[in-house]
Amino acid sequence: MTAAISAADTTFEAHRTLLFGVAYRMLGTIGEAEDAVQESYLRYRSAEAAIANSRAYLVTVVTRICLDVLKSARVQREQYIGQWLPEPLIRRAGEAPSPEEAVASADSVSYAFLVMLEELGPVERAVFLLREVFDYDYAEIAPIVMKSEAACRQVFHRARQRLAERQHRHPAGYLQRRDLTIRFLAAANEGNMAGLLEILSADVVAYSDGGGKTSSAINPIFGADRVARFTLGVTRKDPPASIELVDVNGSPGVLLKRRNSGVHSVLFLEVVDGRVETVYAVRNPDKLLHIP
């Protein structure tokens, strides 16, 4: 019995990173993704029939768990105060990538990509991720989402078409994004309106997620002038005690901290064609719990 349990646990652990990768992209929160992985483990251990393909079984289970969570979460997110943003994966300078960050290519777990996935319904999201990110064929996807191969093919093409409108052909490289992040911070801290306007796109959008638990903009803010003024106002009224450059889902970002009271917020800039196109600020304390 012990040997059987050990073998089952070993098999599951070999697939844990993959399962977290599916769940995190599906749900957009670390805690819910970890819960989905744990639930899939319990179902795997309690399965009565012999499992011929553990990987296929576990991906099917975790995906269906995520679909159930998303269906109930959509009601909650409709009632969410302000803009709902995904929970960021943070890595500090000098730290090795966590197993969670190693789930696949950086682009497919980037913060902008996760935000973009919010445009899709639960089944669309599952089909798109399994096909586009994890390279499953339609014959494998169909039984997971309980649809025909033809239906999965239609769902995928519809999802890809919807997301194509938001995907950028020329995103900035890592170093350019880091440079603009530093310039953005410097201008904000100096109260330099001209410095912000110099790096902001004319149609920049700022999203702030406080979840009703801390001060934030309820609605998106559009336009360089309004985003710059909002940034300067927030920095002046609620300045962080310290600022740390970190990686947010594999891209340059900022961890803002309060004096003696933990994390203030996480800031991430999306840069296209040399200018800041989108500003994301996660301030909801529930989404900052995983940051030491």
Q: pLDDT: is 230 or 241 the higher one?
A: 230
Q: pLDDT: is 142 or 3 the higher one?
A: 142
- pLDDT tens column, 6-21: 778 888 999 999 999 9
Q: What is the mean pLDDT of the chain?
A: 88
- pLDDT tens column, 47-56: 877 788 999 9
| Distance, CA of 13 to CA of 23 (rounded, Å) | 15
CATH architecture of 2-162: Up-down Bundle (1.20)
DSSP state of 129: I
* Ranges of each domain in the chain: 2-162, 174-287
Q: pLDDT: is 292 or 285 the higher one?
A: 285
- pLDDT tens column, 58-79: 999 999 999 999 988 777 777 7
**CATH code for the domain defined by 174-287:** 3.10.450.50
Q: Note the pLDDT of residue 105.
A: 45
Could you count the other beta carbons within 10 Å of the beta carbon of residue 258? Answer: 14
Average pLDDT over residues 131-142: 93
pTM of the predicted model as reported, rounded to 2 decimal places: 0.87
Q: Residue 59: which residues within 8 A CB-CB, separation 6 or more?
A: 15, 18, 19, 22, 130, 134, 144
pLDDT of 199 over the 50 cut: yes
Partner residues linked to 253 by β-bridges: 246, 268
| Distance, CA of 206 to CA of 51 (rounded, Å) | 48
DSSP state of 99: T
Q: Note the pLDDT of residue 189.
A: 92
β-bridge pairing 275-282 and 242-248? unpaired
